[in-house]
A and B are shown apart, each in its own frame.
Chain A
């Protein structure tokens, strides 16, 4: 169905773009100012994500997608 192809196209573009860059760039510690910002974290607010998962799990028959295991900064 058309919606599946649309979703796959978006994810495929993201995946290819990201994979092409993985491991090729090492961002130096002094360049991580913007990566350290809360807006760049994958799971910046555990309670907020937990509450949303709580609501959506009740309405939708799927799971997953919540970020975890690392933000963008890597400067702790």
Chain B
């Protein structure tokens, strides 16, 4: 069964991940290896818990003093149940479909430093039963004004393909949803399938400015243009008395702007990170987000970080409450049961504990490394639907809507 969560996520994630391990900021000085494993649990009322295990492994090496090469791997191992139909009575056990899937993704990148500028480029490839993704990313970072101002530019493009039921020339209200990924990409299943292309362009610009010895600010803007099939091929929506495949526009333009302020409090061995972001897209979704993190050093080797985040969004212009689709039908020729396109607010609170060790003179961290870090992190997510019959109601009825746990190790030498 398809990993719905990785369809466009592959697009957004690939842009960040491709150069995440590379020195997209400024070429790093050490060889390194780092790994993290993230577990996300979404409990549900009367539906099977959704579990996503996300391991990551990255390493980088320096070739001389100017060039850094890096490579990485990550996977999503997903199991759980997903609602089969977006309806007023959605998500009852009988209408949920169990699924398991694995997505694999590999990437490689390089960063080359020339003067005060670092150039980088990367490629990633992702594969799952019903989705293929090729992504290229290029970036540039340059430092100005005595290295007090940093300008960063990035561009990425995805060449993706997604599997779908072969609906030939059926009208939207006659389209049937994909049942299984077994027949995708020549998999040999009995279901007739086809594939659609998705092209994604992603742009980012950031400007970072040191304000004082204890304050730094960053402004950023991002844009994304998506062309191609963006529906969930498995999802059905009850429109009047019909259960038809989800249909959403094949074109989307998205923009976001953000500002971040980091402020150190040396006397308290602590720091504050504040971020605000606005987002709007051509589907009329607007959202705002504020994120605050407080870091506190406890001694020389323990860093504790506490964090709170609030996010709210409007719905897409073609989104309707489940009851409205069933009784009044859609407006226009689009209908969706996607939670991402509904109006809601969510809150996140979390804590992270990092054990840090740095070499001093001949005394290496953990006996071998220049730097070593062992970190554990936990976040809780709370969700408030802002419509009476939202998508995934059983999934969002628990006190805590998602639990995210993470364990990681970083080593440099």
Using CB atoms and an 8 Å cutoff, list the residues of chain A in contact with chain B.
3-4, 6-8, 10-11, 14-15, 17-18, 21-23, 25-29, 31-35, 37-43, 45-55, 57-72, 74-76
Contact = CB atoms under 8 A, between A and B. Distances in A.
Contacts of A27: 146, 148, 210, 212-213
A48 B377 contact: yes
A61 B6 CA distance: 14
Given A62-B285, A64-B256, A69-B151, A50 B277 contact: no
Contacts of A53: 12-13, 16
A59 B288 contact: no
A9 to B, nearest CB: 9
Interface in B264-319: 264, 266, 270-271, 273-279, 281, 285-291, 295, 303, 305, 311-313, 316
A70 B410 CA distance: 20
Nearest to B74: A50
A65 B221 CA distance: 8
Nearest to B295: A39
B179 interface: no
14 contacts: A21-B217, A38-B303, A42-B208, A48-B408, A53-B13, A54-B38, A54-B54, A62-B279, A62-B287, A64-B279, A65-B275, A68-B139, A72-B208, A74-B149
Given A39-B264, A51-B406, A58-B5, A68 B220 contact: yes
B407 to A, nearest CB: 11
Contacts of B258: 11, 64-65
A69 B259 contact: no
A40 B271 contact: yes
Chain B interface size range: 35 or more
B357 interface: no
Contact of A25 (B211, B406, B408): B211
Contact of B214 (A3, A34, A66): A34
Contacts of B289: 7, 62, 65
Contacts of B197: none
Most central of A40, A55, A75 by chain B CB within 10 Å: A55
A10 to B, nearest CB: 5
A68 B118 CA distance: 13
Given A25-B148, A72-B262, A76-B27, A18 B211 contact: yes
Nearest to B58: A47
Contact of B260 (A21, A42, A55): A42
B35 to A, nearest CB: 8
Interface in B140-177: 141, 143, 145-154
Interface stretch (B18-26, B181-189, B234-242, B320-328): B18-26
B245 interface: no
Nearest to B210: A27
